[in-house]
Amino acid sequence: MDSRKIPLKDIKFVLLDMDGTLLDRYFDDYFWEHLVPERYAEKHSITFGKAKEELMERYRVHEGTLNWTDLDFWSKELSIDIPALKEQIKHLIEVHPHVEEFLQMLKQQKKKVFLVTNAYYKAIDLKLKKTRIGRYFDMVLSSFDVGYPKETIEFWKEAEKRLGFDKGKTLLVDDTEDVLKTAKSYGIRYILHKARANSKMKPKMSKDFLHIFDFKELL
């Protein structure tokens, strides 16, 4: 991407997603696609393959809803203590390269910086404690505060009210295209797709949005 197309000098508000955008999504992908199926297989005395197949179906039903990222919902649904399991592998939570430098730069330039995430409170707490990037944000807004996921227009209406950003002077960076599409239709002017969400997988390119692989492109 030619990052000169994002005129940082004209941008006053920066909205940043957490998982996949600032943090390496390897942690979450490993957790939901490997560790949870492993526990589920042990619990039900079935093969890992069968467990993964069953879980992927169950996950899909709730995709794009608040349940999708609600750790307490999944604890009940699967009878597995999901927050405790996440705690066990928190050493895998990593910040993407050059994220801290980017956040420091935004603070030096006196931008308003907001974390906007679909993540559940317990996941946010765990990740911000481990990475210590919370200090860079003026506010953290979760879809659980709002009552709607970021894929809905309602989320953005409420986010604008709570965060007080000016749509014409706002940059959003997110790795989920459905979120970017909704934010664009809401009127957020500058939109960037984070193409490399999981460091162990090939980047997913967007046909509709400018993308970055790494935050050094914006430094």
Residues forming the active site: 10
Structure tokens of 27? 């942690």
How far lies 30's CA from each of 25, 86, 126, 171, 180, in Å?
Answer: 8, 10, 16, 29, 24
Other CB atoms within 10 A of residue 182 CB? 20
> At residue 80, what is the residue type?
I
Q: Are 11 and 111 in contact (CB under 8 A)?
A: yes
DSSP secondary structure of 106-118 = HHHTT-EEEEEE-
Spatial separation of the C-alpha atoms in residues 74 and 35, rounded to whole Å: 14
Residue with token string 């965060």: 163
Helix (H, G, I), strand (E, B) or coil at 23: strand
